[in-house]
Amino acid sequence: MAKQYFFATAALGLEPLLATELEELGAAEVKQERAGVRFAGELEIAYKACLWSRLASRILLPLGSFEALEPDQLYDGVLKIDWSEHLSVENTLAVDCTLVSSKINHTRYGALRVKDAVVDQFRSRTGGRPSVSVDQPDLRLNLHIYKDLATLSIDLSGESLHRRGYRIDGVHAPLKENLAAAILIRAGWPDICANGGALVDPLCGSGTLPLEAGLIATDTAPGLLRDYYGVVGWKQHDIELWDALVEAAKQRYWAGLEKKLAPIIGFDGDSRAVRVAWQHAQNAGLEKIIHYERRTLSEFSAPGGIERGLLVANPPYGERLGDASKLPSFYNLLGEKMARQCPGWKAAVITSNQQLGRSIGLRAGKINVLYNGALKCQLLQFELNEKNRWQSLDEGAGKAVKKKLSPGAEMFANRLRKNLKKLKKWANREGIDCYRLYDADLPEYSVAVDLYGDEVHLQEYRAPKDIDENKAAERLREVQDALPLVLDITPDKVHLKVRQQQKGIGQYEKQARRGILKEVQEGNCKFLVNLTDYLDTGLFLDHRPTRQLIQSLADGCHFLNLFAYTGAATVHALMGGAISTTTVDMSKTYLAWAEKNIALNHFDPKEETFVQVDCLNWLDTAAGQYDLIFLDPPTFSNSKGMDSTFDVQRDHVELLRKTLRLLTPGGTLIFSNNLRKFTMDREALADLDIEDISQKTIPTDFERNGRIHNCWMVRQR
């Protein structure tokens, strides 16, 4: 067989581990790239990767690369491939699409043009055509366009390889199986197991970490249980080779079950989770290898008589405990159990919250960065020995280093404490962990302080020209000194921005390029925010009551979100029971962010409509009827993606008229903007019912800034 080139996709942070894994499987020319690894070999190595990779998400076979500056060029490039070599008219196909810096700006449209080219080629040659099947097609194609260069591949895996085949559909899984495997490999489980060590997960949930540990311990191919692969329906599939590899994997599995292994145990306080974990073990054929038991963390004890082992845990972030205030003590209890129950062992704990990691009360000897979806996490690794003494919270575990404050910083700190005392109780009642704590309350300290869980988004307002620059810098340092002390966080949790009047596209330009997203809670909704890269975080906190209003009105509605930003209003509409949603924004980045927010709240983005376009141009030709519309335009824009400038005061009448064409009789338009001196032209809109709800939509944490936004409910008479 001839050598071919392949690409294995993976979650961020797993590339080095995946490269090593592929080399061990026999791959050649292995090269790490962002979110994946390129490698070469005969078809056998790709088949082995599908069966044996514990870390990869997909195994792709590139068919060709070509320029795709516009849809017709994409279509022509696909036509140059002889598709009769890969499928027939009796087969089904599906196309996945990802776009990065592409002039083709809609993934569904890109996928559609690929599908059109394939079926048109068959129709012109045979008069027949393959049909489309989104779920488990005979051939799944993957289109990736980066900087207008298209790469079209066959997805040999067919669906993500993290789906091992043992998990019950619909069960909430906080960790994907390949991330769980990565945690175990990083923590050294293969060597610990080979040397007779045990494994315990005191917070096992539905059992993913012990199960992946069992697969490794028994030398079981992670893909052995799967009943679907993309290779099976491929016309060039070598069935004899595949069957031989599967049979060899089965023999290794049976041999692995005969091994004498130390205990692999999962505990959890939730009896339902334990029942599901047992079902997963049975599905994987590992019910005699792994033991699950209902036991709370306070009841945890390690198996006796075992000198070496690994304790691994993915502690909760608040949902399962029901009260985020309990988390530090919970993590501290975990640290105590690790130290006292597992002396001489190693431990690994994954968390997205550095401060909670410190609350464990033990020193991490090694820290690895892993990504759970878009969330940046730390894998904390511990040596549980006499030198690593556990600290209780009373002894200072998890606390920030104290620093004596100047008189000015102390004055600012006292105001923070006063605000925190008032707002923390309110936020807990409302079920929110992101809110404005301070907004230039003291004239000397002209900053805005927004809390996002355990991190701070600090915005310094540009000082007037008559304020000495050195004095302004000194006051900012005092603010930065006070925040960690009052909020009991470390200085790296404070993210500073300078807020000034933005012109053109400046408000959207990146401040940094870290791309780290943090999950926050807003009532019954969750959102991803970015505290480092942009001036705004992805969530306008002052619009919280407006979003809650949208949720209360959305039941049974077709919802339209214009100038949608990251789609927070769309999430609330879905949570309120909207039948359909359409989310329109000019930014591809923000629409991709909106899709992540929707998925985070357990809705399927593929069932919703996203339109990347200048909203003003879209309104000129848009069709359809919507029962509920949210219209939140910028104050002013001359973005490079627009044909002309937009001024909300000058242009709002025309904007409202165009938008109202899409509103059903009896429907509601919620119109908002942030121009402090805005005046609604009621005379030009005299035929409409316009209710000013600005004050009703100013949240408690913005009461000092009552002109933060304007808001109206608009209906046709």
CATH code: domain of residue 448 = 3.30.750.80
What's the domain count of the chain?
4
Does the pLDDT of residue 478 top 50, yes or no? yes
Q: What is the mean pLDDT of residues 414-425?
A: 94
Question: What pLDDT, on the 0 to 100 scale, is given for residue 513?
Answer: 43
Residue 467: inside a domain: yes
Report whether 69 contacts 61 (CB < 8 A): no
User: Does residue 194 share a domain with residue 116?
Assistant: no
Mean pLDDT of the chain: 90
Question: What pLDDT, on the 0 to 100 scale, is given for residue 96?
Answer: 94
Q: What span, in angstroms and rounded, lies between the C-alpha atoms of 236 and 634?
A: 53
User: Does residue 681 share a domain with residue 643?
Assistant: yes
Does the pLDDT of residue 661 top 90, yes or no? yes
Task: Give the pLDDT confidence of 325-348 residue by residue, as tens digits.
Answer: 678 899 999 999 999 999 999 999
The domain containing residue 86 runs over which residues? 4-155
User: Does residue 295 share a domain with residue 192?
Assistant: yes
Residue 167: inside a domain: no
User: Does residue 667 share a domain with residue 545?
Assistant: yes
User: Does residue 571 share a domain with residue 438?
Assistant: no
Residue 324: inside a domain: yes
Task: Give the pLDDT confidence of 677-687 residue by residue, as tens digits.
Answer: 999 999 999 99
Question: What pLDDT, on the 0 to 100 scale, is given for residue 506?
Answer: 36
Residue 92: inside a domain: yes
Residue 172: inside a domain: no
User: Does residue 84 share a domain with residue 218?
Assistant: no
Instruction: Tell me the CB-side half-sphere exposure of residue 324, using CA atoms within 13 A.
Output: 17
Residue 517: inside a domain: no
User: Does residue 118 share a domain with residue 37?
Assistant: yes
Q: What span, in angstroms and rounded, lies between the C-alpha atoms of 323 and 308?
A: 35
Question: What pLDDT, on the 0 to 100 scale, is given for residue 172?
Answer: 57
User: Does residue 531 share a domain with residue 599?
Assistant: yes
509 burial class (0-12, 13-18, 19+ CB within 10 angstroms)? exposed
Question: What pLDDT, on the 0 to 100 scale, is given for residue 242?
Answer: 97
User: Does residue 544 share a domain with residue 621?
Assistant: yes
Q: Higher confidence at residue 590 or residue 707?
A: 590
Does the pLDDT of residue 99 top 60, yes or no? yes
Packing angle of the helix pair 469-487, 407-430 (nearest 10 deg)? 50
User: Does residue 411 share a domain with residue 389?
Assistant: no
Give the largest Cα separation in the chain, rounded: 85
User: Does residue 72 share a domain with residue 31?
Assistant: yes
Q: Output the domain CATH number for residue 704.
A: 3.40.50.150
Question: What pLDDT, on the 0 to 100 scale, is given for residue 325?
Answer: 66
Question: What pLDDT, on the 0 to 100 scale, is given for residue 399?
Answer: 65
Could you tell me the pLDDT band of residue 490, with boundaries at 50, 70 and 90? confident
Could you tell me the pLDDT band of residue 476, with boundaries at 50, 70 and 90? confident
Residue 670: inside a domain: yes
Question: What pLDDT, on the 0 to 100 scale, is given for residue 630?
Answer: 98
User: Which of 395, 419, 437 finishes a domain?
Assistant: 395
Q: What is the mean pLDDT of residues 411-421?
A: 94
Question: What pLDDT, on the 0 to 100 scale, is given for residue 501?
Answer: 43
Q: What span, in angstroms and rounded, lies between the C-alpha atoms of 115 and 141?
A: 9
Q: What is the mean pLDDT of residues 526-546?
A: 92
Residue with tokens 């809110």: 435
Residue with tokens 């335009």: 633
Q: Output the domain CATH number for residue 114.
A: 3.30.2130.30
Percent of the chain topping pLDDT 90: 75
Q: What span, in angstroms and rounded, lies between the C-alpha atoms of 552 and 696?
A: 14
Report whether 8 contacts 39 (CB < 8 A): yes
Question: What pLDDT, on the 0 to 100 scale, is given for residue 111?
Answer: 93
Residue 528: inside a domain: yes
Does the pLDDT of residue 470 top 90, yes or no? no
Strand partners, 456: 451, 494
The predicted model scores a pTM of 0.65
User: Which of 337, 369, 395 finishes a domain?
Assistant: 395
Percent of the chain topping pLDDT 70: 92
Could you tell me the pLDDT band of residue 467, with boundaries at 50, 70 and 90? low
What long-range pairs does 599-607 form, CB within 8 A, spacing at least 24?
600/519, 600/526, 600/527, 600/528, 601/525, 601/526, 601/571, 601/574, 601/575, 603/571, 603/574
User: Does residue 432 share a domain with residue 362?
Assistant: no
